[in-house]
Structure 1
Amino acid sequence: MRTEEGMAIVKEDMKKAREYEVNQRKYEIDEVLKLTKAQSAIDVCFLVDCTGSMSAYIDATKTQIRQLTDTIIKLHATKPHLAFVGYRDIDENIEKLDFTDDVNIFKMYLDQVNATGGDDTCEDVFSALEIIPQLSWSNPNHIIIHICDAPCHGKSYHKLQGPDADKYAKGDPKNRELSKLLLDIKRLKITYCTIQLNESTKMMFDEFAFIYGTISEMHVKDPAALMKNICITTSSCILSGIESTMSSFRTSDKTIKPYIMLNEEPYWDDFEAHTVHTIEIMYPNTMNDIFQPLFVGKGSGQIKIAPHPFTKGSLRFAFYGQFSSDGCDLVDVVFKEFISSDPRGNSLQVYQEHLEIQVIAQFLADKFNTELTTTFRTPTYIIYADADIVQQKNDTTKIYQVERRFHQAWQKWSNNSGGVSVAEYSTILQAFSHWTHNITAGRLMVVDLQGARSEGAYLLTDPAIHCDNILRFKHTRTNLGVKGMGSFFRTHICSEVCSKLKLPVQQFPSGSDEIYQILESIDKLDCETIECEPTMLYKDD
């Protein structure tokens, strides 16, 4: 065989191998996005006291319900299934509408629900709880919104006094057991949320929580704000469900390292220091640099690391520790180690990919901060934590990413599939992701924004980057390519920050004005801008 023919065969084989790899990655991305959408579906049951004092909240549920459906459709691309269970007092009518995804059917049903009845102060809550498991729960996420202003019967559940307080002070006249009622609901993995309109229900829900576990409370004193609060809670429930499912999905075919969690920092004087190789990804000099593999620097240092992790994310364990580089003093840090015991997922190459993503995000955040400085008088900056990789010299299988420790509360503002926190909505962070897409001419986008908030800054870590080249960062499996960017824009609503930064406006779907009222930003910016054109960066800078 001639040399030319041999080279042609090799090139053809390489081309086929790349095509196979690209098609395999496209399939994986489609599966992730399909799973994310499926896990966004939710059943929302309104469990409501329908006696005379509750008319304002029944009317608010009826008139504001489209806020909930429009928000879930916009943010999660799925229609919520809605059910209604209304209760009054013993032997009075129970209202029951099983789940429907048609908001008009839900509204029409509520049109015929009247706030009437209620013999004494206490109500027949047990009959409503009895109905909940009988509903057609079918979606991955389940939530009850229990709205009430009076406790159930039985002096174990309230401190009310007087002859009209509780005609069944000995408890439920039908002798139903609370533990059975609640455990039947709990088996369905339902998130139980309450809106308690006065203090009389506190003792009842304390008793419920003793059996059920976590029961969260939404503080709503104005019926006009009812659905806004429900939207926030429902969306948070969906995001939590997606995060849990994706964590299981990423590790379903892998063995997890058998660590025991221990959230207690050791006494470091009792610990031996290990010598380590240090690896850093060099900070880019120009915008063009981020589209190529970044340079790697090496050094040495020492570490002390706790034997047990204090927490676990979807991909990594986190350990308390101390770190010294090139003879400097030991400082408090966090060490991050992948949870999978598969050697292929614990290679130095995988750690370097994750670190390269963080360095690119840091570079873009610095450029974004410059834009903010030239545009806003009181900007809130985005700061990515400096990070390195360490590898123990006496055991090269022990590899960690190391970062300075955050002492603020940890938060997650967005994920890599378009999910966004409604409870802690940030126009700055949403604009940052949008800006990274624009400034790189659509070649990449920084997403999955998480970390801590401090005075005047977001302190972030562990980002993901979507690239037009879906084979880049292929070991991290978080690059969802152009489809991932599309998922971001599906839920993104351009804010004043996007406008001031002259970012191209995304087309708003119908209902976005109402949704934007719900997405109340935690950012307090000085809307007065500096009168100068922002310095725009292009990919050839």
Structure 2
Amino acid sequence: MGSSISHETYESINEDFYDGKKYYAKFTEDYFAEGACRYAFMGTLYGKGPRNKTKCVTKVFKDEAASKLKNWVPEIAASKRAFRYAQHFQENYFPRISGSASEIEFLIPLLAQMKNISGINLLWFIEAFKDERYVKKRSMVAIEPFIEGSYEKFNSNGGYEKQGGLHSIVNTFSHWTWHVSGHKYMVCDLQGVKSGRKYILTDPAIHSAGREFGATDLGAFGMERVLGNHTCNNFCEQLGLGNPYTGIPVASGPRSTTYSFQVTEEDMMRADQRRASLYPYLPAIFE
């Protein structure tokens, strides 16, 4: 008679951003959601901190070659920078806005290496079957708290923007990050859950002048796509945010995240050369 085991990670290589503790995750064999490049699995966190035995989501790259630490590091850096922008926005700019009682927060993942792959052991120690359909042993994965609520995509890194006044503050936030960074950074690809007064967001992309944030960072080309498809709203006006692409048609990308390998070589060459067609880079107000 055999025993069944679940997917399991080693303890995270980084501490939890909120409580400073390390955790590991056990998660299901089958994913519950997927994007262009990753699968998401439901699971449970374990460790000595307050999040022990809480629900989590483990994210795995579809391409095994991408599941290395070097490919996750830019994404963690993007989440941390987005978190800092959201804090600064909350503390210094929300008081200037009338009509919005919302807050914005970004989740910062834990990184961990896979330890055990789900399967069946015979006699408790002989491996009979390993479920390596989606995840391999030693791969690096990202672990986040599970967000309760209705998951929504508010904008993408390729120009999609959810229309309507209900979530205008989120799209204003993307516009604002471009403004205060002196046009060098733009936090976008915003998705997550509206929970009470708070938008809890995950997996942001950041377009940067120097393309610092991995495959979803489309540089100046990506900023043009987002600005060219952004409809300025009342919050943008209250903050005095200008948009040089207003009234200029710019092709929109899909609702899903756009990766650098999905756009033309010409566009990426222009992004790498830090060329923006309608705006200069300026001294930053906040980075």
Structure 2-normalised TM-score? Answer: 0.70
Does structure 1 retain, via aligned residues, the 8 Å contact 2:152–2:191? yes
Greater share of helix: 1
Q: Which stretches of structure 1, 4 residues or longer, exceed 4 Å deviation after superposition?
A: 270-275, 393-396
CA-atom RMSD, angstroms? 2.9
Deviations 1:22-73 (A, max 9, x none): xxxxxxxxxxxxxxxxxxxxxxxxxxxxxxxxxxxxxxxxxxxxxxxxxxxx
Partner of 2:83: 362
Quote the offset at 1:281 in angstroms.
8.0
Partner of 2:215: 477
SS of the residue 1:492 aligns to: coil
1:353 aligns with 2:57: no
Instruction: Say if 1:301 and 1:493 are closer, same or farther in 2 by CA, change over 3 A.
Output: closer
Partner of 2:161: 420
Partner of 2:28: 306
Quote the offset at 1:279 in angstroms.
2.8
Partner of 1:434: 175
Deviations 1:125-154 (A, max 9, x none): xxxxxxxxxxxxxxxxxxxxxxxxxxxxxx
CA–CA distance in structure 2, aligned partners of residues 441 and 507 of structure 1: 16
SS of the residue 2:192 aligns to: strand
Deviations 1:54-112 (A, max 9, x none): xxxxxxxxxxxxxxxxxxxxxxxxxxxxxxxxxxxxxxxxxxxxxxxxxxxxxxxxxxx
Instruction: Say if 1:464 and 1:275 are closer, same or farther in 2 by CA, change over 3 A.
Output: closer
SS of the residue 2:57 aligns to: strand
Code of the aligned partner of 1:431: T
SS of the residue 1:324 aligns to: strand
Does structure 1 retain, via aligned residues, the 8 Å contact 2:21–2:49? no
Quote the offset at 1:504 in angstroms.
2.8
CA–CA distance in structure 2, aligned partners of residues 417 and 367 of structure 1: 25
SS of the residue 1:319 aligns to: strand
Quote the offset at 1:418 in angstroms.
1.3
CA–CA distance in structure 1, aligned partners of residues 74 and 241 of structure 2: 29
Does structure 2 retain, via aligned residues, the 8 Å contact 1:447–1:464? yes
CA–CA distance in structure 2, aligned partners of residues 282 and 310 of structure 1: 24
Matches for 1:105-504 after TM superposition, within 5 Å: 274=8, 276-280=10-14, 300-326=22-48, 328=50, 329-341=52-64, 343=65, 345-376=66-97, 378-393=100-115, 397-422=138-163, 426-470=167-211, 472-473=212-213, 476-504=214-242
CA–CA distance in structure 2, aligned partners of residues 351 and 335 of structure 1: 13
Quote the offset at 1:435 in angstroms.
0.7
Code of the aligned partner of 2:91: T
Instruction: Say if 1:480 and 1:366 are closer, same or farther in 2 by CA, change over 3 A.
Output: same
Instruction: Say if 1:371 and 1:307 are closer, same or farther in 2 by CA, change over 3 A.
Output: same
Instruction: Say if 1:324 and 1:499 are closer, same or farther in 2 by CA, change over 3 A.
Output: same
Quote the offset at 1:308 in angstroms.
1.4
Greater share of strand: 2
Does structure 2 retain, via aligned residues, the 8 Å contact 1:493–1:506? no
Instruction: Say if 1:439 and 1:281 are closer, same or farther in 2 by CA, change over 3 A.
Output: farther
SS of the residue 1:383 aligns to: strand
CA–CA distance in structure 2, aligned partners of residues 311 and 386 of structure 1: 19
Quote the offset at 1:450 in angstroms.
0.9
CA–CA distance in structure 1, aligned partners of residues 170 and 38 of structure 2: 23
For structure 1, the 5+ residue unaligned runs are 1-269, 284-297, 512-536
